[in-house]
Chains A and B, each alone.
Chain A
Amino acid sequence: MAGRYKSDLNWSDVTPKDVWLNRRKLMAGAGAVALGSIAGPAAASLNARKTAYGEGLELNTWDEITSYNNFYEFGTGKEDPARYAGELTTEPWTIEIGGLVDRPGSYGLEDILKDVTLEERIYRLRCVERWAMVVPWVGFELADLLDRVGVQPSAKYVAFETALRPDEMRGVRFPVIEWPYKEGLRLDEAMHPLTILATGLYDEPMPNQNGAPIRVVVPWKYGYKSIKSIVKITLVAEQPPTAWNEYSAHEYGFYSNVNPERDHPRWSQKYERRVGGGLFAKQTPTAKFNGYGEEVAHLYAGMDLIVNH
């Protein structure tokens, strides 16, 4: 439900649009857009309700957030999604909602959106590869949608799937991982008020490279849990298979909570580096649950988070 969060922050704490647009121009002047056709923000603003989330966090710029992406459906290079995700048709868009729900069916995106209030949620994003950003997402709580379709008592997990369109996604022609991309959350994680379905950022419609038109954002987990361009949501009783976990279970666990105490086998997770700091950017310590421990640690009470990584 929108408006669940309160704090002392108000409109004056939010970076004004002209300021970040201005940063874009500065970046462009510095040649940062030499990468090619990086789409600027669309004309229409979403007018999302401001919320308290993200107090004290310095936002990454629009250019940083939209030019450095992992979206392997469009290629494995960081700049590939910005270059090729424009080929994805995002209108019309429907999500197949099924499994253990009272009202299964094909839900059109406009139909889903007419019942929700869009909010701005400024969240930290921590990639398993050790880079980090702060993103002003626009979206609504996943719980709102799940409540609407009626979750049955036997459901324990939520499974998600990304669109698979070889004609529009050049990256899926090669089996980097098993397509379509799949992710999953335990039901209590999915119902947590921090977990949102995002449809935009910086109060603009979601750029394709960031998972248009609709994606999950779970800020206390590594980025790959926040599945993009969703076409399917299924409520299930058993833990569903997830893409990176299927590819290499000892590297990518089902939970994938950000945890500096549990190293990835190929690199330490103790530190992270904020994107945009240039050649001499410092590493900073990574916080457990990406800094959202107060809100989510209770979900894992009594669990060994090294084993259940």
Chain B
Amino acid sequence: MPGQGLAQVSVVKRVNRAIGLVPPLAIYVLAVLPPVWFLWQAQTGRLGVEPIKALEHELGELALQVLIATLAVRPVNKWTGINFLKLRRSFGVVTFFYVLLHLLVWLVLDVQFLDQIWADIVKRPYITVGMGAFALMIPLALTSNNLSLRKLGPIRWRRLHRLMYPVVLLGAIHFVMLSKGFQLEPYVYLGVILALLATRIRWAVLRPA
């Protein structure tokens, strides 16, 4: 890295070596903990007297946070040299898992009725947007394995996985659309996501595919 001191370089090296030791399986095992923790809290009254909405919200926000982490892997590598690229695919899979749980809580615990679920998907724009994001994630989740990567080849695989950009944008818009009144938090998420997406735009211009 140009302009970096020797000490800094060695710290980055050490961090990268540590990251290299983490198997993706460890990410998946760790990823199970937050939802289990939320579920336990919800079941024991620690998420308040209306645990369904609270659980739904916690899982949705968690999914957004991991999405942001996934999106941050590239710029973090560029600016600091710290390299999470090896684990990025597992971050993506974890995001899908959280979004799926968020969706299941909404379907099974919250809305409950099939006719209501369908009516909500077609009639409520924020739900349409959220479902759109989920639908776009399905091909990404299905191809997040070595076999698919080999079959598609790295270029097509990478192009397909650019679907992550609309997914994360739709996720942020979904959060902004569902809040009541003018609230700060969803706009903070939207702002961070737009900033991370902006780092991509510049690369696309500099390095046309």
Q: Please indicate the chain A residues that have their CB under 8 angstroms from the CB of B178 in the complex.
A: 266
Rounded to whole angstroms, the CA-CA distance of A271 and B117 in the bound complex is 12
From A72, A78, A267, B124 is in contact (CB under 8 Å) with A267
Q: Please indicate the chain B residues that have their CB under 8 angstroms from the CB of A79 in the complex.
A: 48
Q: Please indicate the chain A residues that have their CB under 8 angstroms from the CB of B116 in the complex.
A: 268, 270-271
B51 adjacent to A68 (CB under 8 Å): no
A268 adjacent to B48 (CB under 8 Å): no
**B14 on interface, CB distance cutoff 8 Å:** no
Rounded to whole angstroms, the CA-CA distance of A63 and B182 in the bound complex is 28
In chain B between 115 and 134, which residues have their CB closer than 8 angstroms to a CB of chain A?
116, 119-120, 123-126
Rounded to whole angstroms, the CA-CA distance of A200 and B50 in the bound complex is 23
B109 adjacent to A279 (CB under 8 Å): yes
Chain A nearest CB from B131 CB (Å) reads: 14
Q: Mark B18-45, 1 if CB is under 8 A from A, else 0.
A: 0000000000000000000000001111
Q: Please indicate the chain A residues that have their CB under 8 angstroms from the CB of B179 in the complex.
A: 76
Chain B nearest CB from A135 CB (Å) reads: 13
Nearest B residue to A278 by beta-carbon distance? B51
**A299 on interface, CB distance cutoff 8 Å:** no
Rounded to whole angstroms, the CA-CA distance of A263 and B119 in the bound complex is 11
From A78, A266, A271, B50 is in contact (CB under 8 Å) with A78
**B201 on interface, CB distance cutoff 8 Å:** no
**B137 on interface, CB distance cutoff 8 Å:** no
Chain A nearest CB from B183 CB (Å) reads: 6
In chain A between 150 and 208, which residues have their CB closer than 8 angstroms to a CB of chain B?
174-177
Count contacts on B: residues with CB < 8 A to the other chain: 32
From B43, B49, B54, A64 is in contact (CB under 8 Å) with B49
In chain B between 46 and 76, which residues have their CB closer than 8 angstroms to a CB of chain A?
46, 48-55
**A116 on interface, CB distance cutoff 8 Å:** no
Nearest B residue to A276 by beta-carbon distance? B49
Nearest A residue to B125 by beta-carbon distance? A266
B49 adjacent to A68 (CB under 8 Å): yes
Binds B, one of A10-18, A26-34, A91-99, A233-241: A26-34
A268 adjacent to B46 (CB under 8 Å): no
Q: Please indicate the chain B residues that have their CB under 8 angstroms from the CB of A271 in the complex.
A: 112-113, 116
Q: Please indicate the chain A residues that have their CB under 8 angstroms from the CB of B182 in the complex.
A: 174-177
Rounded to whole angstroms, the CA-CA distance of A247 and B55 in the bound complex is 28
Given contacts A270-B116, A281-B52, contact A176 B181 (CB under 8 A): yes
B52 adjacent to A72 (CB under 8 Å): no
Q: Mark A26-58, 1 if CB is under 8 A from B, else 0.
A: 010011101100000000000000000000000
**B151 on interface, CB distance cutoff 8 Å:** no
**B202 on interface, CB distance cutoff 8 Å:** no
**A109 on interface, CB distance cutoff 8 Å:** no
**A131 on interface, CB distance cutoff 8 Å:** yes
B109 adjacent to A268 (CB under 8 Å): no
**B209 on interface, CB distance cutoff 8 Å:** no
Q: Please indicate the chain A residues that have their CB under 8 angstroms from the CB of B204 in the complex.
A: none
**B180 on interface, CB distance cutoff 8 Å:** yes
Q: Please indicate the chain B residues that have their CB under 8 angstroms from the CB of A250 in the complex.
A: none
Chain B nearest CB from A278 CB (Å) reads: 6
Q: Please indicate the chain A residues that have their CB under 8 angstroms from the CB of B109 in the complex.
A: 279-280
Q: Mark A77-96, 1 if CB is under 8 A from B, else 0.
A: 01100000000000000000
B49 adjacent to A129 (CB under 8 Å): no
A31 adjacent to B48 (CB under 8 Å): no
B120 adjacent to A31 (CB under 8 Å): no
Given contacts A68-B50, A282-B112, contact A32 B45 (CB under 8 A): yes
Chain B nearest CB from A15 CB (Å) reads: 17
Which 3 pairs between the two chains have the least Cβ-Cβ distance?
A: A176-B181, A32-B45, A64-B49
A residues touching B (Cβ–Cβ < 8 Å)? 27, 30-32, 34-35, 63-64, 67-68, 72, 76, 78-79, 129, 131, 174-177, 247, 263, 265-268, 270-271, 273, 275-276, 278-283
